[in-house]
Amino acid sequence: MRRTKRERQQLLVETIKENPFVTDEELAEKFSVSIQTIRLDRLELSIPELRERIKHVAEKRFEDEVRSLPLEEVIGEIIDIDLDRSAISILDIKMEHVFIRNKIARGHHLFAQANSLAVAVINDELALTRKANIRFAQSVKEGERVVAKARVTKIDEVTGRTFVEVNSYVNNELVFFGEFEMYRSQNNTKG
Give the global pTM: 0.66
23-62 pLDDT, tens digit each: 888 899 999 999 999 999 988 888 888 777 766 665 555 5
| Domains, the chain | 5-47 (1.10.10.10), 71-184 (3.10.129.10)
Q: Which H/E stretch holds residue 108? A: helix 107-120
pLDDT tens profile 57-69: 655 555 545 555 5
Q: Three-state SS for 188?
A: coil
From residue 163, alpha-carbon distances to 58, 128, 157 in Å are: 24, 11, 11
